[in-house]
């Protein structure tokens, strides 16, 4: 007798919906038979039996949501005719089932592993929405509003988006405006830029920004520089968007944070939102912006839920940082996923009597230097947090700004928290060591407070 | 979108003999004038470079004039042109003001990019000219994107996307070919095969030197054209444009041509012989060819040609003078045109 366990279908999946059973109690199954369908917020996949026998019991009925990975979902007995005596119970084989469809290499975003504290300074009210759906809603609303807006990229149409961000767009807007491209980043980025030069407003999705390195010549040389080189004649209203930074256990080539790379380029605007409200409001602003915008999302945030205002015309201006949590003792700057860690660190610090002010950068170019500098003038201390590497990075720019513009207000040397100066390792323990953590942020904050 | 391969084989054009069919006197004279304008303009640009008035890179189009002119002959309003860095001739043919082009070469406020682009980076949305791109091969993806916009808008326009034998080996060219055929985009790829990618001859750089065949694995038809014969260029361009405009997708024209001058102004001229260059100049010159056609038909006597020559020289002299006296850009221009202000 063997328990069939809820399988993990991607590196970051923690739970899913048992959508359908293809077998019932008493059915004989053989290795390779499809026995069930499982849905996550990202994909639907079939589960195959990996052993043969008879289904003795269905433990989780179909339609059950939020089934945790490794929960027993059915019990498999010995195949009929293999003998009267029941075999001794076998230990569960983790994982007992394999997905029938190979999931994409990238992972489904997990549910938040912790409850993000509600930032008193930045509360928005509205409907609970995942970052994933907020991005989709932003694109759908702008495509309804402006006929020249269209989406192109790998798997954005029929597949519904490699991370389901474009779910439903093909059905609503058709193949003319939701264009599945071949796997040719350099080429389709160039096509997008050319279409933008002709006056359309493409949204070019990169499955991840790691793959955009193939296309970076068009992002920088063609999109960012042509307005200048043409004396203002050729505009390029385009958005390059997709997940940036480290997902989970996908190793160095799939885990890079490109914030500093793009934020260095005059002619580009660079946006990196944290919550769903910003994801939606900033993406709408990016699509409406007449300039090329690099829009850096984060896979680990896609599944997280936040309140999003229901006003369909709600946008967030590019170029304004947001104080997510006010505090008098130390400034923590962060963008994208690191904002969540900074907020969590602030809670830990608060218990130790230190009130951290968390500044969500939101836009990296143009950088809202004034908000950072004013915050440091109040707190006299700063720790910058970024997921990318520290040398020549976002934190380097912030610290230089503070040194130049708030030198006399500083009570301690600024500190930077960043990824270890190595390619990102695969092994779970090394990966955790390499990436910024709440503990490291807390430690740095204590240090600049001389505690 | 899949279509049978039959009838889509690449082919060589018929021998470029009877190419004067369907050309009027006015057309031929206009082409003669345009080609001569390019040549005199480029000669003057070379002089200004030698005088230190033009800096950086400067790639002259001398020898290749028939291609830009022949393609222009089939352009319709709304059709776009995009090319690489050897772009002066294309800009003149598209109708950009020679003064603005020359002043851009000298980096002056009166230049078409107000002095901020230079030789390789000029544009005119009015003239449908989308650059002027300095990264070899980039214009092929961009030009295919212009065609994507035409297709999106169903506006009937065609993108004429020019590149050289050097760019023909870039990967993004083939990524673009694939998408152009897959989506039946209205683009004509004009390969100006002048035999040398900088200093590397096509035989030394390309495993398939018949570049018109390069679309074969994407089912894109292609043909080889005598790029030194403006009428042959015009005729092939008409076929290609009709193919693209009628929704049949992209078309490749390989223009066999030759560049008389070096790759850029600082060319060691070690990769080919003086005799080779002289041979082409003497026997295949595209402007001489038109001149011969005009005299054969009795459409222009020496006096008429001299008058055109004088007119062209005056235009070029005027452009050079403008480019000399036009002021340098105001220092404030350093920080303009980096971003479009919202609402523009």
Tens-place pLDDT, residues B276-307: 999 999 999 999 999 999 999 999 999 999 99
- Name the pLDDT band for A39 (thresholds 50, 70, 90): confident
Is A241 within 8 Å of A295 (Cβ atoms)? yes
Nearest residue, CB atoms, A191 vs list B145, B171, B174: B145
Q: Does residue B33 belong to any structural domain of this protein?
A: yes
pLDDT (0 to 100) of residue A69: 87
Average pLDDT of span A279-306: 98
Task: With beta carbons under 8 A apart, name residues in chain A contacting B152.
Answer: 150, 176, 195, 200
Give the number of domains in chain B: 1
Tens digits of residue pLDDT in A200-246: 999 999 999 999 999 999 999 999 999 999 999 999 999 999 999 99
The minimum CA-CA distance between A162 and chain B, rounded to whole Å, is 20
pLDDT, average across residues B206-217: 96
Cβ(B76)–Cβ(B110) under 8 Å? no
- Answer yes or no: is pLDDT of A115 > 90: no
Q: What is the pLDDT of residues A55-95, one digit of tens each?
A: 999 999 999 998 988 888 998 888 654 444 444 444 444 44
Record: contact A230-B113, CB cut-off 8 A:
yes
- Given the residues A46, A106, A205, A254, select the one marked as catalytic: A254
* pLDDT(B16) > 60: no
Q: Is residue B278 part of a domain?
A: yes
Quick: pLDDT tens for A337-376. Answer: 999 999 999 999 999 999 999 999 999 999 999 999 999 9
Query: Has residue B239 got a pLDDT over 60?
Result: yes
Are residues A228 and B116, on separate chains, in Cβ contact within 8 Å?
yes
Mean pLDDT of chain B: 93
Question: What are phi and psi for residue B201, nearest 5 degrees?
Answer: -70, 155
Nearest by CB to residue B113, choosing from A222, A229, A266, is: A229
Q: A372-414: per-residue pLDDT in tens?
A: 999 999 999 999 999 999 999 999 999 999 999 999 999 999 9
Q: How far is B31 from chain A (nearest CA, A)?
A: 28
Decide which of B87 and A12 is more confident. Answer: B87
B9: pLDDT strictly greater than 70: no
* pLDDT at residue B93, as a whole number: 97
Report whether pLDDT(A113) > 60: no
Residue A32: pLDDT band with limits 50, 70, 90: confident
Tell me the pTM: 0.88
Report the C-alpha gap between A372 and A362 in whole angstroms.
12
Residues on chain B touching A218 (C-beta within 8 angstroms) = 138, 141-142
Residues of B within 8 A of A196 (CB-CB) are 145
B257 and B193 Cβ atoms separated by less than 8 Å: yes
Task: Evaluate whether residue B98 is within a structural domain.
Answer: yes
| pLDDT value at B229 more than 70 | yes
Cα B283 → chain centroid: 22
Q: Establish if B327 belongs to a structural domain.
A: no
Say if the Cβ atoms of B125 and A233 lie within 8 Å.
Answer: yes
Percentage of residues in chain B having pLDDT higher than 90: 90
Check residue B195 and give its pLDDT. Answer: 94
Q: Is residue B318 part of a domain?
A: no
- The shortest CB-CB distance from A229 to any of B117, B147, B174 is to B117
- Min Cα distance A198 → chain B (Å) is 6
Residue A312 tokens, joined: 């369909």
* Adjacent-strand bridge partners of B12: B224
Whether the per-residue pLDDT at B187 is higher than 90: the answer is yes
Give me the residue from B132, B148, B339 closest to A191, CB to CB: B148
pLDDT reported for residue B22: 86
CB A189 to CB B140 under 8 A?
no
Domains and CATH numbers, chain A: 2-77 (2.40.50.100), 127-308 (3.40.50.970), 322-448 (3.40.50.920)
The Cα-based distances of A325 to A117, A256, A275, A360, B130 in angstroms read 9, 28, 14, 9, 48
CA distance B213 to B10: 6
Per residue in A234-263, pLDDT (tens digit) is 999 999 999 999 999 999 999 999 999 999
CB-nearest partner of A181 from B116, B149, B179: B179
DSSP A143-212: HHH-TTEEEEETTSSTT--TTSTTTTHHHHH-TTTEEE--S-HHHHHHHHHHHHHTT-EEEEE-SSTTGG
Q: How far is B10 from chain A (nearest CA, A)?
A: 24
Return the CATH number at B235: 3.40.50.970
For testing contact with chain A, the best of B94, B135, B145 (most A CBs within 10 A): B145
Q: What letter would DSSP give residue A244?
A: -
DSSP 8-state symbol, A328: S
Contacts of B146 in chain A (CB under 8 A): 194-195, 197-198
Residue A377 in tokens: 């003038």
Q: Which residues of B touch A195 (CB under 8 A)?
A: 145-146, 148-149, 152
DSSP, residue by residue, B306-339 = HHHHHHHHHHHHHHHHHHHHSPPPPGGGGGSSSS
Is B97 domain-assigned?
A: yes
pLDDT band at residue B179 using 50, 70 and 90 as cut-offs: very high
Q: Which two tokens stand for residue B80?
A: 């776009």
Name B200's bridge partners: B197
Taking CA–CA distances from A285, the nearest residue in chain B reads: B342
Minimal-distance CA residue of chain B relative to A318: B342
How many angstroms separate the CA of residue A227 from the nearest CA in chain B? 6
Chain A residues whose beta carbon lies within 8 Å of the beta carbon of residue B336: 232
Interchain contact, A217 vs B124, CB within 8 Å: no
Residue of B nearest to A221 (CA): B135
pLDDT of residue A80: 53
**ipTM of the assembly?**
0.92
Residue B305 confidence (pLDDT): 95
> What is the predicted pLDDT for the residue at B158?
98
Residue B185, in any domain of the structure: yes
Interface A–B counts its CB contacts (< 8 A) at 151
| CB-based contact B122 A230, cutoff 8 Å | yes
Give A-chain residues touching B122 at CB under 8 angstroms: 230
Enumerate the residues of chain B whose CB falls inside 8 A of the CB of residue A190: 138, 140-142, 144-145, 172, 175-176
Q: Nearest CB to A291: which of B138, B336, B339? A: B339
The pLDDT of residue A16 is above 60? yes
Q: What per-residue confidence (pLDDT) applies to A122?
A: 59
Residue B37 included in any domain: yes
pLDDT of residue A124: 79
Could you say which of A155, A185, A299, A387 is catalytic? A185
Contact B179 A187 (CB under 8 A): yes
Q: What is the pLDDT of residues B98-124, one digit of tens each?
A: 999 999 999 999 999 999 999 999 999
User: What was the pLDDT predicted at A78?
Assistant: 80
Q: Is B141–A176 a contact, with Cβ atoms under 8 angstroms apart?
A: no
Burial class (CB in 10 A: 0-12, 13-18, 19+), A389: buried
Does A254 qualify as catalytic in the annotation? yes
Q: Comparing C-alpha atoms, which of A151, A169, A132 is closest to residue A308?
A: A132
Q: Nearest by CB to A222, which of B142, B153, B338?
A: B142
The domain containing residue B221 runs over which residues? 25-262+270-312
Per-residue model confidence (pLDDT) at position A196? 98
The mean pLDDT value for B223-231 works out to 98
């Amino acid at each position: 007798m063997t328990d069939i366990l809820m399988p993990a279908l991607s590196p970051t999946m923690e739970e899913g919906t048992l959508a359908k059973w293809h077998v019932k109690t008493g059915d004989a199954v053989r290795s390779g038979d499809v026995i069930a369908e499982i849905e996550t917020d990202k994909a639907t996949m079939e589960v195959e039996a990996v052993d043969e026998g008879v289904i003795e019991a269905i433990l989780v009925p179909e339609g059950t949501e939020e089934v945790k990975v490794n929960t027993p979902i059915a019990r498999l007995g010995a195949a009929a005719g293999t003998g009267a005596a029941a075999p001794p119970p076998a230990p569960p084989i983790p994982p007992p089932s394999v997905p029938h469809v190979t999931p994409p290499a990238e992972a489904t975003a997990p549910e938040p592993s912790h409850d993000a504290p509600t930032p008193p300074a930045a509360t928005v009210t509205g409907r609970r929405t995942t970052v994933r759906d907020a991005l989709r809603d932003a694109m759908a609303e702008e495509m309804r509003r402006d006929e020249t807006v269209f989406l192109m990229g790998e798997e954005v149409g029929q597949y519904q988006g490699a991370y389901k961000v474009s779910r439903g767009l093909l059905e609503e807007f058709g193949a003319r405006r939701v264009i599945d491209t071949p796997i040719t980043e350099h080429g389709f980025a160039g096509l997008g830029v050319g279409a933008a030069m002709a006056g359309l407003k493409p949204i070019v999705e990169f499955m991840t920004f790691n793959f955009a390195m193939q296309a970076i010549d068009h992002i920088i040389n063609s999109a960012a520089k042509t307005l200048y080189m043409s004396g203002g004649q050729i505009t390029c209203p385009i958005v390059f968007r997709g997940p940036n930074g480290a997902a989970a256990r996908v190793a160095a080539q799939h885990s890079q944070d490109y914030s500093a790379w793009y934020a260095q380029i005059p002619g580009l605007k660079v946006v990196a939102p944290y919550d769903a409200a910003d994801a939606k409001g900033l993406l709408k602003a990016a699509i409406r912006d007449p300039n090329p915008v690099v829009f850096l999302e984060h896979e680990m945030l896609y599944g997280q839920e936040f309140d999003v205002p229901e006003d369909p015309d709600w946008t967030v201006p590019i170029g304004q940082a947001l104080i997510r949590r006010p505090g008098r003792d130390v400034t923590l700057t962060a963008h994208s996923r690191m904002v969540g860690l900074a907020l969590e660190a602030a809670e830990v610090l608060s218990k130790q009597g230190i009130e951290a002010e968390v500044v969500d950068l939101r836009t990296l170019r143009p950088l809202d230097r004034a908000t950072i500098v004013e915050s440091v003038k109040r707190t006299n201390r700063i720790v910058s947090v970024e997921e990318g590497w520290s040398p020549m990075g976002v934190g380097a720019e912030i610290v230089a700004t503070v040194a130049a513009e708030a030198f006399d207000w500083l009570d301690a040397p600024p500190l930077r928290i960043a990824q270890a100066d190595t390619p990102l390792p695969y092994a779970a323990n090394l990966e955790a060591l390499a990436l910024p953590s709440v503990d490291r942020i807390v430690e740095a904050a204590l240090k600049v407070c001389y505690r | 979108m899949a279509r049978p391969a039959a009838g889509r084989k690449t082919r060589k054009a018929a021998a470029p003999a009877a190419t004067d069919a369907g050309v009027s006197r006015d057309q031929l004279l206009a082409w003669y004038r345009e080609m001569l304008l390019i040549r005199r303009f480029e000669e003057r640009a070379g002089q200004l470079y030698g005088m230190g008035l033009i800096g950086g890179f400067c790639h002259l189009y001398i020898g290749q004039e028939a291609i830009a002119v022949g393609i222009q002959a089939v352009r319709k309003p709304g059709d776009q042109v995009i090319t690489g860095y050897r772009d002066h001739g294309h800009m003149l043919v598209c109708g950009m003001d020679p003064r603005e082009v020359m002043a851009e070469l000298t980096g002056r406020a009166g230049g078409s990019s107000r002095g901020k682009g230079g030789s390789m980076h000029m544009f005119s949305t009015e003239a449908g000219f989308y650059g002027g791109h300095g990264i070899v091969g980039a214009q092929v993806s961009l030009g295919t994107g212009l065609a994507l916009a035409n297709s999106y808008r169903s506006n009937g326009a065609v993108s004429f996307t020019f590149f050289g034998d050097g760019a023909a080996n870039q990967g993004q060219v083939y990524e673009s070919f694939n998408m152009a055929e897959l989506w039946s985009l209205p683009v004509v790829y004009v390969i100006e095969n002048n035999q040398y990618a900088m200093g590397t001859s096509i035989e030394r750089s390309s495993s398939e030197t018949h570049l018109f065949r390069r679309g074969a694995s994407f089912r894109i038809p292609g043909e080889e054209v005598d790029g030194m014969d403006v009428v042959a260029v015009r005729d092939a361009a008409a076929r290609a444009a009709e193919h693209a405009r009628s929704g049949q997708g992209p078309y490749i024209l390989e223009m066999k041509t030759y560049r008389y001058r070096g790759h850029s102004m600082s060319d060691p001229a070690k990769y080919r012989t003086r005799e080779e260059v002289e041979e082409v100049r003497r026997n295949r010159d595209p402007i001489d060819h038109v001149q011969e056609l005009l005299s054969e038909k009795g459409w222009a006597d020496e006096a008429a040609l001299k008058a055109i020559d004088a007119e062209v020289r005056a235009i070029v002299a005027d452009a050079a003078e403008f480019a000399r006296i036009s002021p340098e850009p105001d220092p404030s221009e350093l920080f303009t045109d980096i971003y479009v202000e919202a609402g523009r």
